[in-house]
Amino acid sequence: MTSSNVPVIAIDGPTASGKGTVAQRVSERLGFHYLDSGALYRLTALSALRHGTPLHDEHALAKLAAGLNCSFVSDSIYLAHEDVADAIRAEEVGNAASRIATLPQVRHSLVGLQLGFCKGPGLVADGRDMGTVIFPNAVLKVFLTASPEARAERRYKQLIGKGFSATIRDLLKDLQERDARDANRSVSPLKPAEGAHILDTSDMTVDQAVSQVLAWYAEIRKRT
C-alpha cells in the first residue's frame, strides 16, 4: 500500500487537550500506526538542552532535529538507546519545545520524519498542524480542544502522577502562553484544518472522546 492510499486520521489541538491519549487509543482500536508529532519537538528540545544548544540558534536546532535518532515502541520513546518518555514531559522541555516549534527551519527539518510514519494499514497522527500542513489529505481531521482550566487540571494530574512538582496556577499561565505562541506563529499556526470536526472534551471522558472519533471514522468508511 502506497502512502497516498494509506488512511490518515489527523488530530490537532492545543497543549494538554488530551489529543495524545485519544489518538493513541484510536490507533490501538483500529490497529493503525501512531505518530505523536509533539514528541519530535520535545525530543529536539531535550537534545538541545542536553547539548547546551541555544534555543534561539535556529540553524543548530534544525540540524539537531534532522539528525534525531528516535523510535516509538509501545509507551516508550527512545532517543538513541535511552527511553526518554518521562524526561520529555518535564515542563522545562515542554516550554523549550513550544519555543523552538515557532522556528521555520526546525519545522522543515521534521517534515520528512513525520511523513515517514504514514504506512499501512493506516495512521493516527496528533499534533498542531497534522491536518493543515503535514497530512492535508487526511480522511478524517479532528480539532480536539478543552477549556484552559480543564487542560491545566489534566496536566497537573499527569505531572504529579509522574513525580514532577507543579501548581495549577503556573500550569494555567504556561498553557495560555503556549496557546498564544502556537496560534500566532508565522509558520503552521495552530488552527482547525478546513473541514475538521471540532471536539470539545472539557466535560468528556477519554472513552467518550475516543468513541466519537471512531464514530466519525466509521461514517467516512461507509461513504467510501
Report pLDDT digits (tens) over 83-130.
Answer: 999 999 888 998 899 899 889 999 999 999 999 999 999 999 999 999
SS3 content of the chain, % helix, strand, coil (to 5): 55, 15, 30
Confidence (pLDDT) at 28 = 94
Mean pLDDT computed over every residue of the chain = 92
- 155 has pLDDT over 90: no
Per-residue pLDDT, averaged over 133-156, amounts to 94
Mean pLDDT of 141-155: 94
For the segment 24-37, the average pLDDT, to the nearest whole number, is 95
The predicted pLDDT at position 163 comes to 85
Of 158 and 140, which is predicted with more confidence?
140
Binned at pLDDT 50, 70 and 90, residue 63 comes out as very high
Domain boundaries, the chain: 7-218
C-alpha cell at 58: 535556529
Q: Give the three-state DSSP class for 131.
A: helix
Residue 3, pLDDT score? 63
Q: At what angle do helices 168-184 and 91-100 cross, to 10 degrees?
A: 10
Task: Tell me the one-letter amino acid at 60.
Answer: A
Is the pLDDT at 1 greater than 50, yes or no? Answer: no
Over range 143-152, report the average pLDDT. 94
**Range 141-148 average pLDDT:** 95
Mean pLDDT of 119-147: 95
Please list, in sequence order, all residues whose beta carbon lies within 8 angstroms of the beta carbon of residue 139, skipping any fewer than 6 positions away: 7, 8, 9, 217, 220, 224
The CATH classification number of 7-218 equals: 3.40.50.300
Give the mean pLDDT of 63-69: 93
> Largest alpha-carbon pair distance within the chain?
52
